[in-house]
A and B are shown apart, each in its own frame.
Chain A
Amino acid sequence: MKHKVVQKVENLGQLTVQYLERLGFAMRLFWDSFYWLIVGRKYKQRVRFAQIVKHIKMDGVDALPIVLALALVVGMMLAIQLIYALQAFGAQSQVLLAIAKSVTREFSPLITGIIVAGRSGAAIAARIGSQVVSQEIDALKVMGVVPVRYLVLPPLLALMISMPMLIIGADIVAIFGGALFSVGKLDMSITAYMVESFNVLVVGDIIQGLIKSVVFGVIIVLVGATTGFYVTGGAEGVGRATTTAVVVSISFIVLADMIASYFLTQ
């Protein structure tokens, strides 16, 4: 019998190889998507504009109410916490600056990324996973349709377009949420608070959020699609893939957020 430690090391090695393989697969999906975007027409692999629009509606427009609602709550929550903390230094007037900067650079992209990962990442994994199980992917291949072009590229482009739009909406609503709580403490009107918030922001603040949103969109689609393509074990496998897609994409979003914050705040 193998020693338990040897067995554990072996298992760990196998797991590492599996994860690296999936990471490579995700990178390949990203590369292939843009390859087919550029050369698709030449090889009768056209990207349908209608499909992209459908995904923008499904993954972007339909997510707007929940994204805005949570942005409002986050804005208010930040105002409550920051006013409490800044009071200690007699600097509660700086809450406006703190909310504007933290919302645009950090909270809007993060909250939006997590919500979209829960909605769209899970949906992509479930859709592709069930298509793997029911041989729909094989059917596409034997017909001559490149699955990446048909299944991955449309949601990828859709999220790269709609994530920045969602972030801009979330920025405005989160600052408004902060205003709702802060105006009483700062003795300002909501209009004056909003105008002053936009005045303290610089282009770099907005750009940082937008860059993050595009990166998060790419992560959500690649993780969802990779998990979907690797589904085994029928309906149960699809269920597992859905959960995995959400957990992994949120983890990657938080990690990417930290890395992006480090480099974009130098």
Chain B
Amino acid sequence: MNAKQQTQAVIEVNNLETYYGQRKILDGMDFQVDQGEIRVIMGGSGSGKSTLLWYILGLYKPDGGTIKVLGQDINQISFNDHLKLKQNIGVAFQSGALFSSMSVGDNVAFPLREFTDLDENTIRIITRMKLEVVNLGGFHKLMPSQLSGGMIKRAALARAIVMDPRLLIFDEPSAGLDPVVASEIDDLILSLRDTTGVSVVVVTHELDSAFKIADRITVLDQGKNLLTASVEEVKQSKNKRIMDLLQRRSRHDKLDPEDYLRRLTQENYTLS
């Protein structure tokens, strides 16, 4: 990798290892996202998609490997530098994670009130602008409980972009939405990248959505980066795991009844 490529990477994960108890979740994961790219992460349940996100966001300390975000090793930097870094990252959670005790407007304004010295008028104007971007203009007074699933995702997106971040991270942005609303969210993500040049990482199960927005797709399997390639390359992959994923086939091997019975009756097997 040359020096130019290094400066362009917004996320660089090298040989990341994480455990949950004795179980290895991420096994020598390598992952890189370039400036201005929309990268979709796909994989079956338990493949390590969300875990990878949580480690990139610095919510947990890895057991091995390095994670660089916007050029900084998140496990080596000071609290203050990490705080500044976090203000350059916008995150939209699967559930939206809007603060239920605050109105939509206050949710979007929250990062501005916490981390800037802007006066209330300016905060109000910026908040309204961001809500307009996600087509929620006029909804600032509503409480999260009064919003539909799609509106919650859009409000979460408005909060994620309110600090004009350089990196946007989405966890299942279209999950649980009807195809029309999901398509609207996809269009918003594309439009944001095209207008602001923000880099985007999206974890999704939705194939249509992934193929529509991704510049490159990373397929994870059993805690490893199985393939990182363009949409066409992923579609044409002959890898069995990827073909199963794209054709929505169960990946479970056929269960051997004898083996199953033996495991059930093992000494250490308890229902608790």
CB neighbours (8 Å) of A136 from chain B are 97-100
**In the complex, residue of chain B having the shortest beta-carbon distance to the beta carbon of A44:** B115
- Which of chain B's residues have a CB closer than 8 A to the CB of A130? 100
A141 nearest in chain B by CB position: B59
Complex CA–CA separation, A139 to B169 (angstroms) = 12
Residues of A within 8 A of B197 (CB): none
B86-A44 in contact (CB<8A): no
Complex CA gap A145/B163 in Å reads 14
In the complex, A145→B57 CA distance in Å?
A: 13
Query: Which chain A residues (138-184) contact chain B, with CB distance < 8 Å?
Result: 138-139, 141-145
Contacts of A43 in B (CB 8 A): 79-80, 83
Q: How many A-B residue pairs have CB under 8 A?
A: 52
A143-B97 contact in complex given A43-B83, A138-B59, C-beta closer than 8 Å: no
Do A1 and B79 form a contact, CB below 8 Å, given A136-B100, A138-B93, A139-B97?
Answer: no
Cβ-based interface call for B91 (8 A):
yes
Q: Which residues of A contact B101 (CB under 8 A)?
A: 127
Shortest Cβ distance from A42 into chain B, in angstroms?
8
Q: A142-B89, A143-B86, A144-B86 are in contact. Are A44 and B114 (CB under 8 A)?
A: yes
Cα A134 to Cα B57 in complex, Å, equals: 18
Classify chain B: how many residues form its interface, as a range: 20 to 34
Q: Which residues of A contact B110 (CB under 8 A)?
A: 143
- Chain B's closest residue to A39 (CB) is B79
**Distance to closest chain A CB from B67 (angstroms):** 14
- For the residues of B in contact with A, the DSSP-based class is loop
Q: 1/0 per residue B251-272: CB within 8 Å of A?
A: 0000000000000000100000
**Which chain B residue has the least Cβ–Cβ distance from A137?**
B97
Interface residues as binary, B54-98 with A (CB distance below 8 Å gives 1, 0 otherwise): 000111000000000000000000011011001101010111011
State whether the Cβ of A135 lies closer than 8 Å to any Cβ in chain B.
yes
> Is B36 in the interface zone, CB < 8 Å from A?
no
Taking the closest CB of chain A, its distance from the CB of B54, in whole angstroms, is 8
Instruction: Judge whether A1 and B100 touch: CB under 8 Å.
Output: no
CA distance A2 to B93 in the complex (A): 44
The total of chain A residues at the interface (CB under 8 A) is 18
User: Which A residues lie within 8 Å of B91 (CB)?
Assistant: 139, 142-143
B residues within 8 A CB of A139? 91, 93, 97, 99
Residue in A closest to B54 when the chains form the complex, CB atoms: A138
At the interface, yes or no: B111 with Cβ under 8 Å from chain A? yes
Chain B residue with the shortest CB-CB distance to A133: B95
Task: Check B111 against A135 for contact (C-beta < 8 Å).
Answer: no
Selected contact of A142 from candidates B59, B94, B98, CB within 8 Å? B59
A21 CA / B59 CA spacing, docked (Å): 20
Cβ of A44 to closest chain B Cβ, rounded Å: 6
Complex CA distance for A237 and B267, rounded to whole angstroms:
30
Shortest Cβ distance from A80 into chain B, in angstroms? Answer: 44
Would you call A134 and B267 a contact (CB within 8 A)? Answer: no
Shortest distance between the CB of A51 and any CB in chain B (Å): 11
Chain B residues near A145 (CB-CB < 8 A)? 114
**Using a CB-CB cutoff of 8 Å, which residues 113-153 of chain B contact chain A?**
114-115
Within 8 A of B (CB), among A112-143: 127, 130-131, 134-136, 138-139, 141-143
Say which residue of B57, B89, B111, B267 sits within 8 Å of A1 (CB atoms).
B267
Chain A residue at minimal CB-CB distance from B272: A11
A135→B93 contact, CB < 8 A: yes
Which residue of chain A lies nearest to B111 when distances are taken between CB atoms in the complex? Answer: A143
Establish whether residues B97 and A44, one from each chain, have CB atoms under 8 Å apart when the complex forms. Answer: no
Tell whether, in the assembled complex, residue B95 and residue A144 are in contact, meaning their CB atoms are under 8 Å apart: no
Asked if residues B59 and A144 are in contact (CB atoms below 8 Å), the reply is: no
- Given that A43-B83, A134-B97, A138-B97 are known contacts, is A143 also in contact with B114, CB under 8 Å in the complex? yes
Say how far A35's CB is from chain B's closest CB, in angstroms.
12
Q: CB < 8 Å: which of A44, A46, A127, A142 contacts B57?
A: A142
With both beta carbons as reference points, the residue of chain B lying nearest to A2 in the complex is identified as: B267
Contact call A144/B93, Cβ cutoff below 8 A? no
Residues on B with beta carbons closer than 8 Å to the beta carbon of A143: 86-87, 91, 110-111, 114
**A145: nearest chain-B partner, CB-CB:** B114
B residues sitting closer than 8 Å to A (CB atoms) are: 57-59, 79-80, 82-83, 86-87, 89, 91, 93-95, 97-101, 110-111, 114-115, 267
Can you list 27 A-B pairs with a CB-CB distance of less than 8 A?
A1-B267, A2-B267, A43-B80, A44-B114, A46-B114, A127-B101, A130-B100, A131-B99, A131-B100, A134-B97, A134-B100, A135-B95, A135-B97, A136-B98, A136-B100, A139-B91, A139-B93, A139-B99, A141-B59, A142-B58, A142-B86, A142-B89, A142-B91, A144-B86, A144-B87, A144-B114, A144-B115
A-B contact sample (4 more), CB < 8 A, given A142-B58, A143-B111, A144-B86: A43-B79, A43-B83, A135-B97, A141-B59
